[in-house]
Amino acid sequence: MDTTAKHNTGRNELPADRVLATLNEDGSRHWINPRCSPGRFLAARRWTAYALIAIFGVLPWIQINGKPAILLDIAARRFTFFGVTFFPTDTLPLALLILAIFLTVFLVTAIAGRVWCGWACPQTVYMEFLYRPIERLIDGAPGSRRSQTRSGPRTVLKYILFLLCSCYLAHTFLAYFVGVDQLWHWIGSSPAAHPTAFIVMAATTALMMFDFAFFREQTCLVACPYGRLQSVMLDKHSMIVTYDRARGEPRGKKQLQHSDVALRVLPGAAADAPARSTSGDCIDCRMCVTTCPTGIDIRDGLQMECIGCAQCIDACDTVMDKLHRPRGLVRYSSRAVMEGQAKHLIRPRTVLYPIIIAGLVAALAFVISSRSTGEAAVLPRQGAPFYTLPTGEVANQVRLRLVNRTDEPSTFTITLSDDAASSGQRLIADTTSIDIPAGQTINHGLILAAPASLFSSRGRFDTTVTITDSRGFSTSLPFRMLGPAHREPTKEQTP
Ligand code: SF4
Ligand code: SF4
């Protein structure tokens, strides 16, 4: 089946009145098939991408303090980051960590714009430096005759390679959630032995295929919230990819008539192509447009679709080099600089964000370093507040909530103080020694019993329950027992 009708020619040619770069007039998808524009930024991004791909693949294998560098064990509700394990009860450190990450994103965006999107986001990294190169290798350069036919053995080969990449990525992704040992065990055994894991892996592979083979830039344009939030994170001093309108305009090919510079940058131009002379440096060659992975024209100003990948900079620099003009008609700059204002790195948000981030990181370090190995709470159980035992003692049913916050099993022991025991208080429970697996929380029921004479005239008695564990955790928890109001014997009752 020839699907060329739905695909563009690799030129990203769009009518001037087009609203969305990725939509045809009839509402169908306008396929973006960007040209590769070699240059200094592409080279730097390529090495950055290779490093990130390597890190992503290696990280699950690295152990720190005997734990995986990153393990997001959802089943056990345990998250390990570089030797530190967080449990569901660690709401404060988790909140601090998430807040610090968010504010760091805000800070980076305020300073460097969408540098994350263009240089480090997995969507861009894998799309532009793994899937797209495979596609160009098999289909040929965008606009070439080979790229116009999207059927036959070459297309099958391309999708097989995409599938292999997706499968590898899905497995690596899964390693972050189950660990490499478990993953290898699953890989080495039949899918029937672990159907759920197999379905998750197959679904993740399918999702990767859908994303990188079909959805592509749509993920950035319609699925990712970051692009939509950028307007509140950027200010006019933030670094963005910009077109120097003052230098570039008026643009146009019609001025390619009077010059001493041979022009070989326009598509299909001959070596002795006409030369140019214009007051604006932009020759409207659209090289910056045809290389854009989201199909936009940077000359229209900052747009939500711009992921800051700098491909248009490399494309335009190449054109400027051929014209013997200075580079930088499209460049990293800021709106303020483009409007002739001074560059301001120090601004309220670039000062405030680092201060808050430093405070959050310090608080996080303090909370982590002062974390205890366990946690305990004693709570009254539902139902009757107290009852009287045949011995005459007053009994309260309580619930102990015990948390083992370590990576090893631990034994928790519940006791009353010596004073409590000598005053006749006692614990009634099947066991006062409880084994708790690593990172788990257990609710344990028991009965506190005390002589009725200990209760005040308001029917209360304050006692203390001591809980220790085999890993050094120790705490004394106050508990107010309820019972019958105690009355002092009257004179007549006194023997
Ligand atoms: S690549 Fe440069 S010269 Fe060509 S259209 Fe874009 S801005 Fe103008
Ligand atoms: S406009 Fe330039 S920087 Fe923005 S996405 Fe397109 S090519 Fe990348």
Ligand 1 in reach of 330 Cβ (< 6 A): yes
Q: For ligand 2, pick from 37, 241, 286 the residue to mutate: most ligand atoms within 8 Å of CB.
A: 241
Q: What is the DSSP string of 154-190?
A: HHHHHHHHHHHHHHHHHHHHHHHHH-HHHHHHHHHS-
Ligand 1 in reach of 285 Cβ (< 6 A): yes
Which of these, 238, 237, 163, lies nearest to 207 by C-alpha position?
163
Ligand 2 in reach of 330 Cβ (< 6 A): no
Full-model pTM: 0.78
Q: For ligand 1, pick from 244, 255, 265, 329 the residue to mutate: most ligand atoms within 8 Å of CB.
A: 329
Angle, CA of 331, 211 and 127, to the nearest 5° = 35
Q: Which atom of ligand 2 is the closest one to the Cα of 313?
A: 2
CB atoms closer than 10 angstroms to residue 19: 7
CA gyration radius for the chain?
A: 34
Ligand 1 in reach of 103 Cβ (< 6 A): no
Ligand 1 in reach of 319 Cβ (< 6 A): yes
Q: Would you write out the chain's pLDDT as a tens digit for each of its 495 residues? A: 333 333 444 445 555 555 677 888 788 888 888 999 999 999 999 999 999 999 999 999 998 877 888 998 887 778 888 888 888 778 888 899 999 999 999 999 999 999 999 999 999 999 999 999 999 999 888 777 666 666 788 889 999 999 999 999 999 999 999 999 889 999 988 999 889 889 999 999 999 999 999 999 999 988 888 877 877 888 899 999 999 999 998 888 755 544 445 455 555 555 555 545 457 899 999 999 999 999 999 999 888 889 999 999 999 999 999 999 999 999 999 999 998 888 888 899 999 999 999 999 999 999 988 888 888 999 888 888 899 999 989 999 999 999 888 878 899 999 987 788 888 899 988 888 999 988 788 899 889 999 988 888 888 989 999 999 888 889 999 999 998 886 665 555 544
